[in-house]
Amino acid sequence: MSQTVTLHITGMTCDHCVHSVEKALRSAPGVESAEVSLRENRATVTFSPPVSAEALVTRVERAGYGAQWVKEPSRAAPICSGTHSGETHVAIIGSGGAAMAAALKAVERGARVTLIERGVIGGTCVNIGCVPSKIMIRAAHIAHLRRESPFDSGISAHPPDIRRERLLAQQQGRVEELRHAKYENILENNPAITVLRGEARFEDARTLIVSRADGGSHEVNFDRCLIATGARPAIPPIPGLAATPYWTSTDALASDTIPERLAVIGSSVVAVELAQAFARLGSKVSILARSRLLFREDPAVGEALTTAFRAEGIEVLEQTQASNVAHHAGEFLLTTTHGEVRADRLLIATGRTPNTDMLNLSAVGVKLDPRGTIIIDRAMRTSSAYIYAAGDCTDQPQFVYVAAAAGTRAAINMTGGEAAVDLTAMPAVIFTDPQVATVGYSEAEAYHEGLETDSRMLPLENVPRALANFDTRGFIKLVVEAGSGRLIGVQAVAAEAGELIQAAALAIHARMTAQELADQLFPYLTMVEGLKLCAQTFYKDVKQLSCCAG
């Protein structure tokens, strides 16, 4: 008696792959038909004994592709809801940027969603990350300008009175406002989304068990599942650290006091942003950098930021590691490779680790890297056929806009579509002062990829807007492909670098050359005009140009 099965195929990239899989399946004795779809990564096979579904999987694997037998789905009703026959049921673990984007897109495409959250709705960005940190950074910037600015000879400076408890109330008020408007209210008013509170773990490849705080549990059956559990601060194994009341970024942002002395272990985004914010609000700050500031970026970026920090009185200790941490009588004592560092508070900002350890992923075959990060393909698929992942728990860059884009595309793929995230022109901003903004390749990254490059760096004293601001800290650097002159990377350190980097991203996306960029019209006395000026340096001396020279 004939039967039909569906196989989920991985590894296909072209029509030749489709032909190869079809050939492997049709050559099996008993196979009556085999139709393979590259778009859906599926094979539909009709066959009779002696062949079996397991044998068909083996045939595909011998042809060099992956295959998994897709058994008939059990279409469970959502928790506390009636049956909705024919709908795709998507379970989403998490409620942050990736989760919300996925939930809304899945509903838009006709699915029903069960969203599972163990803590506060909204995830990292709105609650303990982007939003509160940028509010604090802005407040610190205002405090700095009231204390010191390039115009002090004509505008008298006044050291500000920092009332941290009031700043914190203002900060948290805006956090709560945005969480309600952009997360809680949307979920409450969408009947296709059921919110389930509790800790989720996989029972099998189609079932989640959600443990509630009251000791009870729910079973959630799904057609597709998205893991969007985010990440948490990583804590290094420094002797003595665990026994001390150290801060993570979450603790630092929620503190209602400004410590007199703050030590920061770390040298990347969170470390430098919060270090400068606390320094400008009144702390004496020391940063312990194992290598140098922003060591993953072009060396000129870290050098420029280090110079700016030291000019503000922030102590930057390069090539410095803590070998022991002690805390006694309210004081931290850090033993380092370059002597002792004492502080009233210690901030650990050494990266983030994915929230994947409680999900029982080994039971469903979801592959992780050594850090516990979920490995996904361009379509956000994991190594398990029905399970997808997006956001900071995956091996994608840890930015909320990347997470949201990935969540949206994962939802498309979970509901029968085909979408991917293009990260070739992904802009990134670090909200220090001056800001750091990058997109595309640095010279070192391009070299690693085997690309020959040419580059130009324009100090900001050549940018009229920076001169008018009396703030020429930093530079703009363009990296182009040798020969073609095509723009492939931009690095900028400037007071408003974040406001110019999207123009650079669009230029890279459009595959513009430096010449084409230089020929564009840019408004005079804007920082983004620096892109045009830097592009012009590939073939002329901009110091010899008049203002607005085209």
Whether residues 453 and 523 share a domain: the answer is yes
Whether residues 395 and 481 share a domain: the answer is no
**Residue of 1, 130, 358, 401 with catalytic role:** 130
Higher-confidence residue of 49 and 92: namely 92
Q: Please tell me whether residue 388 adopts helix, strand or coil conformation.
A: strand
In a domain, 75, yes or no: no
Residue type, 73: P
Task: Give yes or no: 548 in active site.
Answer: yes
Whether residues 386 and 331 share a domain: the answer is no
**Residues above pLDDT 90, as percent of the chain:** 81
pLDDT in tens, 80-111: 333 344 689 999 999 999 999 999 999 999 99
**Residue of 1, 12, 386, 441 with catalytic role:** 12
How far apart CA 42 and CA 7 sit, in angstroms, is 6
In a domain, 106, yes or no: yes
Whether residues 177 and 258 share a domain: the answer is no
The set of long-range contacts for 289-292, using a CB threshold of 8 Å and a minimum separation of 24, is 289/316, 289/317, 289/318, 289/319, 289/320, 290/319, 290/320, 290/321, 291/267, 291/318, 291/319, 292/267, 292/318, 292/319
In a domain, 491, yes or no: yes
Per-residue pLDDT, 5: 85
Whether residues 227 and 115 share a domain: the answer is yes
Task: Give yes or no: 547 in active site.
Answer: yes
Domain count, the chain: 4
Residue 2 has a CB neighbour count (10 Å cut-off) of 10
Per-residue pLDDT, 18: 79
pLDDT over 60 at 201, yes or no? yes
Per-residue pLDDT, 355: 98
Average pLDDT (342-370) is 97
pLDDT in tens, 215-240: 999 999 999 999 999 999 999 999 99
Residue type, 39: R
Per-residue pLDDT, 1: 64
Task: Give yes or no: 183 in active site.
Answer: no
Task: Quickly state the pLDDT bin for 502 (edges 50, 70, 90).
Answer: very high
Average pLDDT (458-467) is 96
pLDDT over 60 at 62, yes or no? yes
Whether residues 398 and 474 share a domain: the answer is no
Of 70-74, 84-88, 176-180, minimum mean pLDDT range: 70-74
In a domain, 370, yes or no: yes
Domain ends where: 345, 367, 396?
A: 345
Domain ends where: 317, 345, 373?
A: 345
Per-residue pLDDT, 74: 36
Only one residue has tokens 């703009």, namely: 476
Whether residues 206 and 305 share a domain: the answer is no
Whether residues 473 and 506 share a domain: the answer is yes
Residue type, 229: T
In a domain, 145, yes or no: no
Tokens encoding 515: 């010449």
- Given a contact cutoff of 8 angstroms between Cβ atoms, the answer to whether 334 and 315 are in contact is no
**Residue of 386, 524, 534, 548 with catalytic role:** 548
In a domain, 82, yes or no: no
**Residue of 100, 125, 512, 527 with catalytic role:** 125
Average pLDDT (112-125) is 96
Host domain of residue 528: 428-544
Q: Please tell me whether residue 26 adopts helix, strand or coil conformation.
A: helix
Torsion sign, CA atoms 295, 137, 156, 493: positive
Of 211-215, 254-258, 423-427, minimum mean pLDDT range: 211-215
Q: What is the mean pLDDT of the chain?
A: 92
Whether residues 104 and 226 share a domain: the answer is yes
Whether residues 511 and 433 share a domain: the answer is yes
**Residue of 65, 183, 386, 441 with catalytic role:** 65
In a domain, 319, yes or no: yes
Residue type, 32: E
Average pLDDT (379-401) is 96
Domain ends where: 345, 375, 405?
A: 345
Average pLDDT (468-495) is 97
- Given a contact cutoff of 8 angstroms between Cβ atoms, the answer to whether 214 and 314 are in contact is no
For position 504, which CATH number holds? Answer: 3.30.390.30
Task: Give yes or no: 386 in active site.
Answer: no
Per-residue pLDDT, 145: 97
For position 260, which CATH number holds? Answer: 3.50.50.60
pLDDT over 60 at 322, yes or no? yes
Whether residues 406 and 282 share a domain: the answer is no
Residues 6+ apart with CB under 8 A from 332: 244, 246, 263, 325, 326, 342, 343, 344, 345, 346
Tokens encoding 130: 């982007």
pLDDT in tens, 250-268: 999 999 999 999 999 999 9
How far apart CA 223 and CA 388 sit, in angstroms, is 11
For position 23, which CATH number holds? Answer: 3.30.70.100
Average pLDDT (495-518) is 97
How far apart CA 302 and CA 409 sit, in angstroms, is 34
Task: State in Å, rounded, how far the first CA of the chain is from the last one.
Answer: 77
Higher-confidence residue of 80 and 202: namely 202
- Given a contact cutoff of 8 angstroms between Cβ atoms, the answer to whether 374 and 366 are in contact is yes
DSSP per-residue string spanning 273-340: HHHHHHHHTT-EEEEE-SS-TTTTS-HHHHHHHHHHHHHTT-EEETT--EEEEEEETTEEEEEETTEE
Per-residue pLDDT, 14: 61
Whether residues 301 and 218 share a domain: the answer is no
How far apart CA 76 and CA 222 sit, in angstroms, is 7
pLDDT in tens, 129-145: 999 999 999 999 999 99
In a domain, 131, yes or no: no
Task: Give yes or no: 125 in active site.
Answer: yes
Average pLDDT (277-283) is 98
Per-residue pLDDT, 72: 45
Average pLDDT (237-253) is 98
How far apart CA 77 and CA 100 sit, in angstroms, is 21
The set of long-range contacts for 134-138, using a CB threshold of 8 Å and a minimum separation of 24, is 134/431, 135/170, 135/171, 135/174, 135/175, 136/167, 136/171, 136/253, 136/274, 136/277, 137/273, 137/276, 137/277, 137/431
Task: Quickly state the pLDDT bin for 548 (edges 50, 70, 90).
Answer: low
